[in-house]
Amino acid sequence: MLADIRKLVQQTLPRSIDVYADVPDSLWPVWGDATQLHQVFMNLCVNARDAMPAGGTLHITAKNLTLDHDSAQRHFQAQPGPYVIVTVADTGTGMGPAVLNQIFDPFFTTKALGQGTGLGLSAVLGIVESHGGFIDVQSQVGQGSQFQVYLPATFEPNPAAVTLPNLLDGSQSTVLVVDDEPAVCAAVRTVLELHNYRVMVAHGGQDAIALLSEHVDTIHTVLMDLMMPTMDGFATIPLLKHINPDLRVVAMSGLNSVDAVAKAEQQGFQGFLPKPFTRQDLLQRMQPVD
């Protein structure tokens, strides 16, 4: 796969960018979804290109590494064991700490309107984590950036025997997302699907009621915007609960006041997700509370 990526990148990046790849034949095997992993590395290479408008160098390197207990502890939720590390490094603009802190958040972009959705890296992280891996980033303004993708190596011949640690897994449960903004629906869908949820989308209260009536046996959770034109979240919730009294409905809103949260709870919402939210906030809020 990395040989393919290298070829593709060499053919598509501007001539002003030199591409080097150092990928040994002795890499350990990684089990994964080839389409998704391809997307991970292409996203990183495209970001690197965008960071080098005046040209520069892109390095794609890979190596094997066994993480011992101590080094695993330095990475959030990492398990000790064998990993393949793929590094995508550029000599571009680099990033300061304020940008670095937000790069994995859905919608975070420093690109001009219409130039970037800000969903690239949130999808990258979602995919890597769903493969049991994690990402390290080093960058400084003016010094370029380095993204290290750690993927657990697997010597087990049967992939079914591999259990990936994923604390925020959706276990194929269905979530109905209701928001009048298509971009919000799309972002939420990307994140949830990467974490093994099935997602249905409605763009307003009426749509939501129609979808729930049709799929009352499969939809157990609804994530609904409070502020929508025509029929808002408060007007919709009693009708949804009428169809299924046990439905779990989580409110999302940019109105993040104590009053708004209290009102939502009073009206029968089982949770509140203030906008804007991070991938982690969203996944945590989707987990059943016990």
Ligand X SMILES: Nc1ncnc2c1ncn2[C@@H]1O[C@H](COP(=O)(O)OP(=O)(O)OP(=O)(O)O)[C@@H](O)[C@H]1O
Q: Binding string, 133-152, against ligand X, x = CB under 6 A?
A: ------------x-------
Alpha helices in 150-204 (DSSP H): 182-194
CA distance 118 to 274: 19
Give the SS3 label for residue 19: strand
Q: Among all residues, whose Cβ is closest to ligand X?
A: 120
Q: Which of 71, 73, 110, 140 binds ligand X (CB under 6 A)?
A: 110
Q: Is 276 in the site for ligand X (CB under 6 A)?
A: no
Does 190 help bind ligand X (rule: CB under 6 A)? no
Phi, psi at residue 2, to the nearest 5°? -65, -30
Residues 24-83 within binding reach of ligand X (CB under 6 A): 43, 47-48, 51
- Decide if 242 contacts 263 (C-beta within 8 A): no
Q: Which of 10, 39, 57, 117 binds ligand X (CB under 6 A)?
A: 117
Query: Nearest residue to Mg ion, using CB?
Result: 120
Q: Tell me which DSSP letter residue 269 carries.
A: -
CA–CA distance, 76 with 2 (Å, rounded to integer): 26
129 contacts ligand X (rule: CB under 6 A): no
Measured between alpha carbons, how far is 153 from 11 in angstroms, rounded to an integer?
29
Q: Return phi, psi of residue 259, to 5°.
A: -60, -45
Between 90 and 250, CB nearer to ligand X? 90
Does 120 bind ligand X (CB under 6 A)? Our answer is: yes
From Mg ion, ligand X, none, interface partner of 118 (C-beta below 5 to 8 A by class): ligand X
Contact segment (CB under 6 A) with ligand X among 116-124, 166-174, 224-232, 252-260 equals 116-124
| Distance, CA of 250 to CA of 270 (rounded, Å) | 5
Q: Which residues bind ligand X (CB under 6 A)?
A: 43, 47-48, 51, 90, 92-93, 95, 99, 103, 108-111, 116-122, 145
